[in-house]
Each structure stands twice: as structure tokens, then as C-alpha cells.
Amino acid sequence: MARMLYCLLLYLGAPLVWLRLLWRSRRQPEYRQHLGERWGFFGQPPGPEPLIWLHAVSVGETRAAQPLIQALLQAWPGHRLLLTCMTPTGRAAGAELLGDDPRVLQAYLPYDYPGAMARFLDHFRPRLGVLMETEIWPNLMAAAARRQLPVVLANARLSRRSARGYARIAALVRPALERLAAVAAQSEADANRLALLGAPRISICGNLKFDVSPAPAALALGETWRAALGSRPVWLAASTREGEEVLLLEVLERLQRPELLLVLVPRHPQRFEAVARLVRERGLRLAYRSQGLPGAEHQVWLGDSMGEMAAYYRLADLAFVGGSLLPLGGQNLIEAAACGCPVLTGPHTFNFAQASADAVAAGAARQVADAGELETVLGELLDAPAKRVAMGQAGRDFAAAHRGATARTLALITSAGR
């Protein structure tokens, strides 16, 4: 009954889905591409090779899945891998990371309409499905169960806030979770929350993001930037979200350090120009990454590029990881730690609670209560190079100590797929 009501709401909301795609395409024209795939209509069949299917909703999940994808291709010779996502940036990240591999196909996962999901599974006919993190779709899981397709939830995480939300619609969520062949949870807390909602066969496998090694080319690019900027102090604000940039620019102005360069990298590329306007409105001198290196006169360097976060971390003296000054849940700080960059976060890290708490405990990160404390801690660390070096080394040690999730997750998937 709950799924029938869910389907009715989906069908009633179909015009809004089209309007949302058109609205988003105003800033990202890529949303007008591959529209048929959104509804389960695909081109030529994928070929005779059996397929493993992995779904990663957007950029972060796609990058986290990279070591698992390589492990799956190695463990299942003779198979191809279908990588699906929901956003153009996720699709672009997949092409960047894996586009040269002829064994990897890419497509959008359709919206969760019964017919669309049936067409998707019947077209590609995967022998095994892997969903990354918290991608649970009731009609997809029902369609997979009818086709006896084992589906594993990998790198699974569930914040306290999300668990409360899912509990309100337990009649819809529980049957979908119960259909999973296995769950690879990031932490014990994630496992407990998923178990309370009905997820079966849960194993704690750790966070796959610890197994993602920074690309050597990106690290080399960051070192090139560092050499070009010389001894100029660099503060990176990484993966910032709407509403945070104003706070961060105010911190920059109050610090009153003319030599300090703020590298500002918004989380979503469609916001690049809006953030640039914010910088100019404050009278700050702005340079764009896409136009080259900043000059000595520039105060803000806008990171309007994709796939270069490791380079930014290698350049920076310290980094603030965004989504955390406002109640947005935070962003992944593991990459910063692996690059040896000292990390600062705000108080709102519930989407990455375990990793954030562990990084703070390891001395790799410091958590601040608000923008005022961020200003204080930034000033302190900019004047304490030895402290920054110690935090950077603690970050490398922290990242290295938590590796191994890929092997554990692969073993779970292999067992479920037999």
C-alpha cells in the first residue's frame, strides 16, 4: 500500500520533474542531454558480456567508488561494468576517472518509476548491482527482487538526521532495505541505524574514501602552483555551499592579512559565477583558476575547475572543508588528510560524523563552533608553521590507518553475488 501511494505521488509529480530538469539546465545545459535515459530508454544493447552494475549518485560517490570499480573489474574478468549516476557532474567525474577503460559503460539511472526501472534492468540485464552510500529506491528494489538480481549497499552511511526521516516512512523504506543482499556499512553507528530500519546482513567494512589515493598528476600540479606562489600563505575553502562564502569572505577581511590568498572552491560548479559576484561585491580582487595563476594583487582565487581538489590541497597551507559552517552536514575531509593538508571544519558534520570525529581525535583536524572561532584558529595556525606540519603528518597517518575498506567490501559483494 505504501509503495502504491509512493508511485501515485511520483506520477502526479512527473510534470515537476520535467520542470526541474529544465530549470537546472539553465545553469548546466548538460541536464538537457540523455533525457531518454532518465525514463528508462536507452540506445543499443550493451553487448554479450555479462554486466556488473554500480550506482554512484554524483561526484563524491563516483570518486569514492573508483578503487571498488577497479577491484570489481579485476575480480570478475570477462565482465563489463555499468556505472550509473544522477547528475551531469557525476557523469563527467566517471568519464574523467574511467572513460578510457573500454570495460566501463556509463548511463543515468532512471527516476524511480516502475516502468522506467523495469526498462533499465531489462535493457542492461546486470548479474549484480551495487548501490553507493544511501541510494535506496523502492521501485528499483522491487524490480530487482522480481528479477532475482542481488543488490548490495556499499559504503553505506546513515546520519542520525536521515535515520529519523526514513523512520517516518518506514512502511516504504523497510521493504526496500529488506530486499538488499548485503550491506557494507562505514561504521558501527551507521550499521546500527540501518539495522533499526530493517537492513539485513550488515557488515562493517569501513569507508572506501580512505582507499582513494590522490592522483600523482594532481599533486604535481599543486606543487607547481606552490612554487609559483612562493612563500605566500594560502588558505583553501573547499567544497563550500550556498551561504558559507559570505561568512568566509568576512573572515578573510577581518583577518587583515594582505598577503593571504583565499582559494575558494564551491561544491557545485553551477554556482561559480554567483560566488564570483559575491567576491566582487565586497571589493575583493578576484582571479579565476580557468584563467591561470593569481597575481600578487589578487586576494581570492576562484577554483572554477573540476577534478583538481588534490592539487588545491597540496597547494594550501591549511584548508576549511565546507558544508559545515551551516547545518548542511559537511563534506569529505579524508582527501585533505591524505594530501597532508591541515583541516578545519565547522560544527555541522553529521553526514561525515565518524570520519570527522576520528580526524579531530587524531590531531589531523580542528573543529570550530562558528565563523568567529574559525577566524581565531586560522590566525593562530597561519602563525604556527610547526603546528601545521604536525597536523599534516597526523592527517597522512590517519588516512593510512583506515585503509582496507575496498578489500572487505569486495569480499562481501563477491559472496552476495554467488
Q: Tell me: the pLDDT tens digits for 377-411?
A: 999 999 999 999 999 999 999 999 999 999 999 99
Residue 361: what pLDDT? 96
Residue 216: what pLDDT? 92
Average pLDDT, the chain: 94
Does 351 have pLDDT greater than 80?
Answer: yes
Contact between 327 and 138 under an 8 Å Cβ cutoff? The reply is no
**Which is the catalytic residue, given 30, 37, 49, 61?**
61
The mean pLDDT of 215-228, rounded to a whole number, is: 95
Residues recorded for the chain: 418
Query: What's the pLDDT band for 46 if we cut at 50, 70, 90?
Result: confident
Whole-model pTM: value is 0.89
Q: Tell me: the pLDDT tens digits for 103-138?
A: 999 999 999 999 999 999 999 999 999 999 988 899
Gap between the Cα atoms of 93 and 85, Å rounded: 10
Q: Tell me: the pLDDT tens digits for 59-81?
A: 889 999 999 999 999 999 999 99
Which domains can be identified in the chain, with CATH numbers? Answer: 34-207+403-416 (3.40.50.11720), 216-401 (3.40.50.2000)
Gap between the Cα atoms of 349 and 354, Å rounded: 9
Q: Which of 22-36, 209-223, 288-302 has the lowest mean pLDDT?
A: 22-36
The mean pLDDT of 241-266, rounded to a whole number, is: 96
Does 418 have pLDDT greater than 80?
Answer: no
Residue/partner pairs of 242-247 with CB below 8 Å, 24 or more apart: 242/271, 243/326, 244/322, 244/323, 244/325, 244/326, 245/275, 245/278, 245/279, 246/278, 247/325, 247/371
Q: Which residue has the higher pLDDT, 100 or 141?
A: 141
Residue type at position 163: A
Residue 249: what pLDDT? 97
CA distance readout (Å), 14 to 21, 113, 135, 319: 11, 10, 20, 41
Residue 121: what pLDDT? 97
Q: Which residues of 170-194 are buried (b: 16+ CB within 10 A; e: fewer)?
A: eebbbbbbebbbbbbbbbebbbebb
Whether 373 is a known active-site residue: answer: no
